[in-house]
Amino acid sequence: MSKSLARVAAALKDAGIETEIREMGDTRTAADAAAAVGCEVDQIAKSIIFRGEESGHVVLFLTAGGNRVDADKATALAGQPLGKADAALIRAETGFAIGGVAPVGHLSEIAAFIDPRLLEFDTVWAAAGTPRHVFAITPADLLRVSGARQADFTG
């Protein structure tokens, strides 16, 4: 088990969440991931990461699989201009590679926001620390363990 995957499993266990971490094949999109686990595309909680241009730190937007982050809304929520976060910054602050950023188990505390669309389901699926692993979680538990604030940032 990779260090990243182990860190996510430990974070979930420490939070009292029992869930199965599932390995998928080659999934590059939310639609691919939804097909692999057998759910609606919007049940995939995408981790979209930006760099705060003033703080220099990452900001996480947990977005329903079929939605896109609106840059203006996201910037307003973050309270600072947002730019592209490079792979090195994402790895340094979250501990994860692009494509496998989990909503839990980060190396440092990061600001996070969650798409209200994800809260409409009984279960959602999120990356488990690698591009090939996901886990199921209730939206209420996702809110609790991620520390994300519910906000409208899609367009």
> How, if at all, do strands 124-127 and 21-23 pair?
unpaired
DSSP code, position 154: B
Structural element, H or E, at residue 136 = strand 133-137
> SS3 for 40?
coil
Domain that residue 8 falls in: 3-150
Over residues 45-99, the pLDDT tens digits come to 999 999 999 999 999 999 999 999 999 999 999 999 999 999 999 999 999 999 8
In a domain, 155, yes or no: no
Q: Look up the CATH number of the domain holding residue 56.
A: 3.90.960.10
Q: What is the mean pLDDT of the chain?
A: 95
Q: How many structural domains compose the chain?
A: 1
Res 20: pLDDT: 87
Whole-structure pTM over 0.85, yes or no? yes
